[in-house]
Structure 1
Amino acid sequence: MPLTVWLCPDDTTSPPIPPTGQPHQTPDRRAALTKICDRHRASINTTLARHIINATTGEGDVITEAFTTNHATLTAAAHLGRRALACVPHPPMAQHIGAQLRATLPQEFLGRVQMRPCRADQMHRGVADHLGRVSLVIAAPPIPRAATTHTGPRTASSPGGCPACLSDVLANTAFQTRSFLPAAYRILRPGGHLAVVTTARHLNGRLVDPAPEIIRQARAAGFRYSQHVIAVRVPVEGDTLLVQASPVSIGQLRDVRSRALPPAVRVHADVCLLTRPGDTSRGGNR
């Protein structure tokens, strides 16, 4: 299958630029600056969202996001002239994303985005008013709890913690990739696309790549596998990847004779592009 590489350095945790005339330290802006933990660095940032949206949709199309943990997809869609709906079933997460949106989007763009209080596996109910008319579903399923090591926080209970962690705790009990795929199929129009963003990770002492299983489950749900994209998540200078370890990763450095796994640095994410079979004559670049 065709393979593509996108340059998508992480930008979601950078301080957002407030709309013209908005004070720099409003409550919304302070909330929007909350850091996303290292465990969620594989989720979607605005650069990656722009790549996906431009490659699969046209101006005015409707986009839906499942497993939403930040404002990136909504912000990118609004700036690109699309309408976007995000499935955010947990009120604290919705409040955090709302603060991010108000701190980053001009007032006239806010009407292009909405959050719906529905789970990813129930999006066909939460966005029933767009059933069969959505052009793109974007999803970055949560990292399984068993895959998380002591290198990252397990909850968002500590002050200033990652707001996506609590959402994941609840999501992992009810949201499984296989459960949301049929719902995504139902809301997509014929020829619409599903983009699943994931990455290989350590699970019980071994490296596991979830992409092949996601593709298998998506095919079982009726999707056609279209393309695999490598999204490079670190800056590139010439032919060099500028990888910088976090303080937590540096703290994990061990004796070279140790049998323990070395610190993991996420350099890229995998984007599995799938298509609902049908007429592809509508929309943008397909």
Structure 2
Amino acid sequence: MWLAAADTESATTCRAGCCHPVSGPLARHLVAACTRLGETVVHLGASDHQLVSAALTAGCLPVAVFTDVARAGVSWSCLARTHPDYDLEVTDLRVTEPGDDACVLADLAGSAGLVVAELTCQQPVGHATGRPDSEAEPETVAEVFDVARAAGLVKPGGHLVVVTGLHRQDGVVDPVPEIIARVREAGLVYLQHIIALRHPARGERIDPGLARRALAAIEELPECAGLPASARVHADLLLFTAPGATESTERAGSEG
């Protein structure tokens, strides 16, 4: 288990308000466990700057793919305030339409030491078929998590990490088994399932006051009704590697 309580409050990544972006502590865990100096780190479905910042601090080359130009702009502003100009020169933020990232990712095929994909409750797992239907209502368009495309970005010995959790879709849905099966079909090797705890902890115990306030906030999300409380106090991290593992794979396994 990794402690991954957010340093500050951040905007949620789904309309229901139950999915949260990769926090600063979680980003640092991921980069430390899964990368080596100078490797490329790709963040798919990015909504803030945390993973990019952690990658820069570790001497890696970050690429973040956003589907919201406003969030990309805010992320760049945050990076400009906290990193020197030479870091910004190697920072690559890209913006694409939901489900239409093939072109912006083409040059990254087989090059990333770490790919982090955030799978929200509104994303089915499958293969993208191009742009969403332009005639569909915006709130009905689902951005498909293209497993094969994400796996294809990972270099031999590199890692893919899928960040997910229980979803509410006409009942409680656990996407973990399907994700593992699909990523294996794409040619990657499943390593382990890591729990990322979103609650602050003191020593080995979760702060009870903070836990009560967090659970009360969860109960105010009607679209998440029916989910067990544990579903929103932690995220599920699924760690995979591409054949041709290096010592970074061993390091990632020992961090879990």
TM-score, normalised to structure 2, is: 0.76
Residue 246 of structure 1 and its aligned partner are, at CA, apart by: 4.8
- Where does residue 237 of structure 1 map in the other structure? 202
Superposed CA RMSD in Å reads: 3.1
Residue 9 of structure 1 and its aligned partner are, at CA, apart by: 1.1
- Residue 249 of structure 1 aligns to which amino acid in structure 2? A
- Where does residue 44 of structure 2 map in the other structure? 66
> What CA distance in whole angstroms lies between the structure 1 residues aligned with 2:60 and 2:81?
19
Say whether 1:188 aligns with 2:139: no
Change (3 A) 1:6 1:140: same
Change (3 A) 1:261 1:141: closer
- Residue 195 of structure 1 aligns to which amino acid in structure 2? V
- Where does residue 87 of structure 2 map in the other structure? 109
Cα offsets for 1:45-103 (capped at 9, x unmatched): 11111111111110110011101111111011111111110112432222222222223
Number of residue equivalences:
229
* 1:98-137 paired onto structure 2 within 5 Å: 98-118=76-96, 123=101, 125-137=103-115
Change (3 A) 1:172 1:141: farther
Say whether 1:51 aligns with 2:45: no
- Residue 226 of structure 1 aligns to which amino acid in structure 2? L
Say whether 1:226 aligns with 2:191: yes
Residue 252 of structure 1 and its aligned partner are, at CA, apart by: 4.4
Q: Name which of structure 1's ranges 39-48 and 240-249 shifts more when overlaid on structure 2.
A: 240-249
Percent identity between matched residues is 30
Confirm or deny: 8 A CA contact 1:88 1:94 kept in the other structure: yes
- Residue 217 of structure 2 aligns to which amino acid in structure 1? S
Cα offsets for 1:223-265 (capped at 9, x unmatched): 2111110111111113321214259728749xxxxxx748846
* 1:1-286 paired onto structure 2 within 5 Å: 5-13=1-9, 35-37=10-12, 39=17, 41-118=19-96, 123=101, 125-144=103-122, 173=141, 175-177=143-145, 180-204=146-170, 206-242=171-207, 243-246=211-214, 249=217, 252=220, 261=226, 264=229, 266-277=232-243, 279-281=244-246, 285=251
> What CA distance in whole angstroms lies between the structure 1 residues aligned with 2:34 and 2:218?
39
Question: The residue matched to 2:33 in structure 1 has which SS?
Answer: helix
TM-score, normalised to structure 1, is: 0.69
- Residue 106 of structure 1 aligns to which amino acid in structure 2? P
Change (3 A) 1:120 1:12: farther
- Residue 199 of structure 1 aligns to which amino acid in structure 2? G
- Residue 59 of structure 2 aligns to which amino acid in structure 1? G
Confirm or deny: 8 A CA contact 1:61 1:283 kept in the other structure: no
Change (3 A) 1:8 1:272: same
Confirm or deny: 8 A CA contact 1:224 1:274 kept in the other structure: yes
- Where does residue 159 of structure 1 map in the other structure? none
Confirm or deny: 8 A CA contact 1:43 1:197 kept in the other structure: no
> What CA distance in whole angstroms lies between the structure 2 residues aligned with 1:105 and 1:190?
30
Change (3 A) 1:207 1:85: same
- Structure 2 residue ranges without an equivalent (≥5): 125-136
Question: The residue matched to 1:195 in structure 2 has which SS?
Answer: strand
Question: The residue matched to 1:100 in structure 2 has which SS?
Answer: helix
Confirm or deny: 8 A CA contact 2:193 2:237 kept in the other structure: yes
- Structure 1 residue ranges without an equivalent (≥5): 14-34, 147-168, 254-259
Change (3 A) 1:175 1:95: same
Confirm or deny: 8 A CA contact 1:9 1:235 kept in the other structure: yes
Confirm or deny: 8 A CA contact 1:136 1:192 kept in the other structure: yes
